[in-house]
Amino acid sequence: MMIKFLTGLALSTSALSLVACSGGSPTTETKAVAVIEKAVASSTTMADIMSHPRRAEEAARDQYRNPVETLKFFEVSPGKTVAEIWPGWYTNVTAPYLKENGGKYVAVLYPEGVSDRLDKRIAGFKEKYSDAAVYGDIEYGAFLKDSGPILQAESVDVLLSFRNVHNWMGGGYTDQAYSEFFRALKPGGILGIVEHRLPESAVQDPKGSTGYVQESYMKDIAIRAGFEFVESSEINANPRDTADHPFGVWTLQPRSRLPKEGSDEAKGFDAELFKNIGESDRATLKFRKPF
């Protein structure tokens, strides 16, 4: 307890010194110290979040999604503002963790009014995560093709996307996506991308129709948008996935798409074989917006 107190005191003093040197006001100093002290004082760890009963149904996929290791790799930590593009499964991990550790979770959903289907998804998400005592006061942005700025410029420390790149490729707005991400991140901010991985030896469909994307393809897009590539990780790798399935990535769990009975695809189709592969092999890529 004494070590924790002294660490918190040292961090608070450092924060005050930095604010004072930059000409910050007493109000700014108070806010800076409050954020750090809350993070230091919190006893809620990522392990606590992961083991909470509200995640009971989602926990079965932890073995494929490796949320603790993935969020750590993307530098999600106390006091940060973290945005997620088209969120869902990860929200039940990231939002409570940030709420308990002085951070802020930002959900970038679809724009309202595009379709009734998407409007229902937006409303359902907001209702599911409406409990501020658990998830904090979630902030919202919007993103889709030609939707304009997704968030205020330079407003987030970390921006995350899980298995979405092929969707932007299919819609023809990948460059727009990365440009908006670059704009939203603070200088030095992290862009974390997880995507179904296509081997470099395969031919990349520019529309991403199989759901698989080469690492080199994603790196090129990000660098073209102004990002620096930091490093990749094998956290979410699955060597059993050959990325050449009859229905693309959707042949595997959790979609586990099946052929129509009596179709050509049904001949020799072994559902158990694909089930045993598990979920897809995934690239985990970290980029940084230059200072």
Mind listing the pLDDT tens digit for each residue in 54-94?
A: 999 999 999 999 999 999 999 999 999 999 999 999 999 99
The full set of domains in the chain, from first to last, is 60-288 (3.40.50.150)
- How far apart are the C-alpha atoms of 159 and 148, rounded to whole Å? 17
H or E segment to which residue 232 belongs: strand 228-233
pTM: 0.86
119-61-216 Cα angle (round to 5): 80
For CA atoms 208, 165, 116, 148, the dihedral sign is negative
Give yes or no for a cis peptide into 254 (omega within 30° of 0): yes
pLDDT at 33 over 60: no
- How far apart are the C-alpha atoms of 102 and 85, rounded to whole Å? 21
Surface-to-core class of residue 107, CB atoms within 10 Å of its CB (0-12 exposed, 13-18 middle, 19+ buried): buried
pLDDT at 15 over 70: no
Q: Is 23 left (phi over 0), alpha (psi -120 to 50) or beta?
A: left
- How far apart are the C-alpha atoms of 103 and 137, rounded to whole Å? 10
105-31-76 Cα angle (round to 5): 30
Closest CA to 183 of 227, 138, 232: 227
pLDDT of residue 26: 53
* Contact by Cβ (8 Å): 135, 52: no
Of the pLDDT bands very low, low, confident and very high (cuts 50, 70, 90), residue 12 is very low
Of the pLDDT bands very low, low, confident and very high (cuts 50, 70, 90), residue 30 is low
Of the pLDDT bands very low, low, confident and very high (cuts 50, 70, 90), residue 3 is very low
